[in-house]
């Protein structure tokens, strides 16, 4: 499902125009990204939690030149932990 598919479906089910739905969906996604950029967790009850985690510095090697060692710097990544309801629906329990 793409963002466009989501907008069309919500628009059909609610009677709102696609432009109105698009603006709400886009603003929601923008707020999630802004919060994560500030290092905050985003918790959506029964859906899941987006968390910013730091990936530690590590050593990498080029498989074509294993003698060449590269240090991969630490960086922040976004992790997603699904909520209870989502886990149940996805796992068909």
Per-residue pLDDT, 35? 96
Q: Which fold has domain 41-93?
A: HU Protein; Chain A (4.10.520)
Per-residue pLDDT, 81? 95
Rounded Cα distance between 29 and 9, Å, is 17
Per-residue pLDDT, 93? 57
Q: Which residue has the tokens 């698009």?
A: 22
Which one, of 50, 54, 46, 25, lies nearest residue 35 by Cα? Answer: 50
End-to-end CA distance of the chain: 23
Per-residue pLDDT, 9? 97
Residue spans of the domains in the chain: they are 1-39, 41-93
Residue 80 reports pLDDT greater than 80: yes
Rounded Cα distance between 26 and 69, Å, is 42
Share of the chain above pLDDT 90, in %: 75
Q: What is the pTM of this model?
A: 0.78
Rounded Cα distance between 46 and 87, Å, is 9
């Amino acid at each position: 499902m793409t963002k466009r598919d989501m907008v069309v479906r919500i628009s059909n089910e609610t009677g709102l125009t696609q432009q109105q739905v698009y603006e709400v969906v886009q603003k929601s996604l923008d707020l999630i990204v802004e919060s994560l950029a500030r290092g905050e967790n985003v918790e959506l009850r029964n859906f899941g939690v987006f968390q910013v985690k730091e990936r530690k510095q590590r050593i990498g090697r080029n498989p074509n030149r294993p003698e060449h060692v590269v240090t991969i710097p630490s960086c922040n990544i976004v992790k997603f932990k699904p909520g209870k309801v989502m886990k149940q629906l996805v796992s068909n329990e």
